Amino acid sequence: MNKGDTIIKFNKIKKIYHMGTQTLEALSGVSLQIAAGEFVTFMGPSGSGKSTLMNIIGCLDTPTEGEYFLEGKNVAGLTFDQLASIRNKMMGFVFQNFNLLPYATAWENIELPMLFNGKNTKKRKERITELLNEVGLLKWKEHRPSELSGGQQQRIALARALANDPPIILADEPTGNLDSKSGIEIMELLSRLWKKGHTIIMVTHDDRLASHSQRIIHLFDGREADA
């Protein structure tokens, strides 16, 4: 896929949650397109549907209605394992609360996505070393998350997101749990990745962070605010 081609296309995506007798429409017909190599930020108050949108983009969740084309292919109807494979190869997740495995070392955490697609030991070793160098944490490789600062943990999470070199990075409030200095470091890393050609999709409340991106999409009550 070339830079500028449409990598993500939403066509009237709806997501409805059923909770007992109540139904909640988290997304009510969102249509949007994101080009490969774009840096897009979703903003909006809580409950506006940004996280749901991110989850559907990341194939962690499926839409109730509408079509989602990823690299031109309709994602609807794919099996759990096919979606798992897409998450593994095409998506890199960065979460607000890092979501590292607590008992595993920094090295092992980065290794995990590569274990799920059977990369051999030599390739894994090379890639992890490269990534740890990139986030500047090579000498922390044997440390567990509890022995690292928040900023360091998020850098490890970012390295893990990049393990299989996915085209799309999904960052859900990536600096939400960090001090401002660490937050800036993470944003710099994300910017660097964008410049390298990754498509970055971020969710944030923070206008200053959003200013790093090319395009801001405001969401309100499950739809685009300017739509």
Site residues (vs other proteins, CB under 8 A) = 55, 58, 60-61, 80-81, 84-85, 87-89, 93, 95, 99-101, 103-104, 108, 111-113, 115-118, 121, 160, 164
What residue has token string 């900023």? 151
Strands 223-224 and 215-220, how do they pair? antiparallel
Least spacing, CB of residue 127 vs other proteins, in Å: 13
Least spacing, CB of residue 124 vs other proteins, in Å: 8
Gap between the Cα atoms of 80 and 196, Å rounded: 30
Contacts 24+ apart (CB under 8 A), 116-121: 116/84, 116/88, 117/85, 117/88, 117/89, 117/164, 119/164
Least spacing, CB of residue 74 vs other proteins, in Å: 20
Give whichever of 35 and 95 is closer to other proteins, judged by the CB atom.
95
Neighbours of 109 (CB within 10 A): 25
Give whichever of 122 and 181 is closer to other proteins, judged by the CB atom.
122
Give whichever of 87 and 210 is closer to other proteins, judged by the CB atom.
87
Least spacing, CB of residue 211 vs other proteins, in Å: 28
209 CA to centre of own chain:
15
Give whichever of 103 and 208 is closer to other proteins, judged by the CB atom.
103
Give 24's strand partners. Answer: 17
